[in-house]
Amino acid sequence: MALPKQRHTRHRRDRARRELEMTTTKTGICPKCEAAVLPHRACPKCGEYRGREVVKKALPKLKKD
């Protein structure tokens, strides 16, 4: 089995591991319902994008008691 000739430095090791680091998702806030929204997408709660409704949201069904 092959072995490396020299040991990698801590900087080189950490630089390689930095590529696997997770980053937070950049989100905005919907001006109507104040929900978290991904950029350039319609709001998942109210269905608005740039001040107009682009996705029709159905009203929740009421349960009969």
The pTM of the full predicted model, rounded to 2 decimals, is 0.54
pLDDT in tens, 8-56: 999 999 999 998 888 888 999 999 899 999 999 999 888 899 988 888 8
Q: What is the pLDDT of residue 13?
A: 92
Burial class from Cβ neighbours inside 10 Å (0-12, 13-18, 19+) for residue 47 reads middle
Task: Write a three-state SS string for 11-22.
Answer: HHHHHHHHCCCC
**Could you tell me if 54 and 41 are in contact, meaning their C-beta atoms sit under 8 angstroms apart?**
no
* 65 pLDDT more than 70: no
At which residue do the structure tokens 């709001």 appear? 43
**Could you tell me if 53 and 45 are in contact, meaning their C-beta atoms sit under 8 angstroms apart?**
no
* Residue 53: φ, ψ to 5°: -80, 120
